[in-house]
Amino acid sequence: MSTARLLPPQRHRIGAGFQADGWREPLALLDPFIMVDHFRMSEPVFAPHPHAGFSAVTYLFDDSATGLVSRDSLGGEHAVPPGGLHWTLAGRGVMHDEFPAEAGREAHGLQIFVNLPADQKLRAPAVMRLAPERMPHRAGMGWRAVQVFGGRAELVLPSPVALSIVDIDAGAAFELDMADGEQGFAIVIHGHGQVEHMAGLPLSAGRALSLPEGGAARIVADGPLRLACFSGHPLREALVRHGPFAMSDEGQVVAALQRFQTGGMGRLSPRTTTRISDPKEPKQ
């Protein structure tokens, strides 16, 4: 069986308003996740754009200086507060846009693309939301965790995936375990630490630790350490990506392009004024 390893980030920027550490490869180790960006965004950088074949998920850290506004061609315009979750299940296709709620202030979070199983890629699009006060919490000796999705979190997801945000005190340890049939990875958001008994795997901000199916690692914090811990059941299905589409084969990609070009994913005009709906209740 393979062992734990570090996954290097791909750093990228869009103008002065968006910067991120991103993980896209190797896809086999991220599966069922397609991409994760640890981002900071201080101004609108994305025009309305399509998604199809996966879920586009945004989580904002509790230290985010502002929230986000998420708009879609389903008619939604939603506030994503610091600590909140917004899940756009694109399915057969939806138009989407996201930008900071307050101009000039920095939104800090995770942008996550979660693959949909082959038999769900053409399902109707939908939006789910979860306010931070609705997320389950747990704690141990010197650590605290928020279950953003999966586990005991209340959203009903299209496949078994999970994200927890774990804060570890200096000198404390946290056991990161993958269940049978699950693999995952932990992104260091801030701080420094080490994997016990693995001297060649030092942990610092911008690094990600990959764990194989059924794998485990004991992480010891040198100082205050925050981790974003992902896990899920690998789909191991054919995946053809073309820009914002992630489909099972080329025929589905061509069909998605046709839906987009003919308005089958709906319409979303560039933003003008913002009317934000109440983010407190989750929608499914």
> Does the pLDDT of residue 280 top 60, yes or no?
no
Strand 126-130 with 49-51, pairing: unpaired
The C-alpha angle 69, 72, 77, rounded to 5 degrees, equals 40
Q: Which long-range contacts (CB under 8 A, 24 or more apart) does 235-243 make?
A: 235/31, 235/32, 235/115, 235/117, 235/118, 235/159, 236/31, 237/115, 237/117, 237/118, 238/118, 239/27, 239/34, 239/115, 241/34
Confidence at 97, pLDDT banded by 50, 70, 90:
very high
* Spatial contact of 150 and 160, defined as CB atoms under 8 Å apart: yes
Return the number of other C-beta atoms located less than 10 Å from residue 204's C-beta. 13
Domain formed by 5-232, architecture: Sandwich (2.60)
**Could you read off the pLDDT of 138-162 as tens digits, one per residue?**
999 999 999 999 999 999 999 999 9
Show me where the domains of the chain are located.
5-232
Phi, psi angle pair for 27, to nearest 5°: -60, -35
Label residue 167 exposed, middle or buried (CB < 10 Å: 0-12, 13-18, 19+). buried
Q: Tell me the whole-structure pTM to 2 decimals.
A: 0.93
> Does the pLDDT of residue 173 top 70, yes or no?
yes
- The first and second tokens of residue 42, run together, are 């201080």
Phi, psi angle pair for 250, to nearest 5°: -65, -35
Return the number of other C-beta atoms located less than 10 Å from residue 27's C-beta. 15
Question: Given its phi and psi angles, is residue 78 left (phi above 0), alpha (psi -120 to 50 degrees) or beta?
Answer: beta
> Does the pLDDT of residue 179 top 60, yes or no?
yes
**Could you read off the pLDDT of 254-279 as tens digits, one per residue?**
999 999 999 999 999 987 644 444 43
* Spatial contact of 34 and 242, defined as CB atoms under 8 Å apart: no
For 56, the 3-state DSSP assignment is: strand
Phi, psi angle pair for 253, to nearest 5°: -65, -45
- The first and second tokens of residue 258, run together, are 């046709």
- The first and second tokens of residue 219, run together, are 């992480």
**Could you read off the pLDDT of 102-124 as tens digits, one per residue?**
988 999 999 999 999 999 999 99
Distance CA 80, CA 83 (A): 8
Of 65, 64, 69, 93, residue with least CA distance to 80 = 69
**Could you read off the pLDDT of 25-82 as tens digits, one per residue?**
999 999 999 999 999 999 988 889 999 999 999 999 999 999 999 999 999 999 999 9
| Average of per-residue pLDDT across 187-206 | 91
Residue 2's pLDDT is what?
A: 52
**In which residue are the tokens 């003008």 written?**
272
Distance CA 44, CA 103 (A): 8
86 or 2: which carries more pLDDT confidence?
A: 86
Strand intervals (E) in 42-106: 49-51, 54-60, 68-72, 77-80, 85-89, 94-100
